[in-house]
Amino acid sequence: MLRFEIPDWVWGFLFGIVVTAFVAAVTFKYLSSPLEIFGDHAAEWWLVAGTLLLALFGLYQAVISGRTARRQLRAYVNVEPLGINPFSGSNSILGHVAFHNTGQVWAKNVRTWIDIKLDQDGHLSAEALSPDEAKLEGKNIIGPRAKIPRGTRDIPIPKNGWLYVWGMVRYDDGFTKDRVTRFCHRYPCAKLTPHPEGGSRIDCEHARYHEHGNDAD
């Protein structure tokens, strides 16, 4: 499922509120004057306290900067439709996709699974399009901005209905975190046309991302 992450500026805002509320509570609830807390060395101790707060804020900024850098640099693998194509010019077809790393670091330990399904319903449910993780294969890498193509098994050329090219990919995002992308591309059999070299095809421009089966983290 898609994951919701709280933006960093919200965490910064909440951090500022907590620090301000703490200082205000100590000052106004327990003291008649802010200087009473440190007695004769109030100025020096307030300087120390301020320095500690600045150090904590600097640490917080470093943590947030690291998280932001990871999000900006990490590997992102999406799955692009490459159409329905003839299988060796015969009376069968197969679906093709491209696993595309749009991130700025290498996607590692890439494992994929892809299949094709014919159905007369153009609105298959999510339950009918649940990938089987046990069938994931491979241990590949995809460079930044690079693509690797993959094809499904072949099936007989249908006369009508809808073709679903679906599956999933798991990979390490470059920061040792396991990621997953699930995909489902839907093609209308009404768009099947003869291929110049024999067989039939559906151009990728007729692919649609199905309302179910597409998810990523």
Containing 211, the helix (H) or strand (E) segment is none
In the block, which residue shows the tokens 């670091």? Answer: 105
Pick the CATH number of 77-216 from 2.60.40, 1.10.10, 1.20.120, 3.30.70: 2.60.40
Q: Which of 160, 155, 147 is nearest to 191 (CA)?
A: 160
Domain range summary for the chain, segments of one domain joined by +: 8-73, 77-216
3-state secondary structure of 37: helix
The stretches in the chain having pLDDT less than 70 are 1-50, 52-72, 89
92-134: per-residue pLDDT in tens? 999 999 999 999 999 999 999 999 999 998 888 988 888 888 8
In one-letter notation, the amino acid at residue 192 is: L
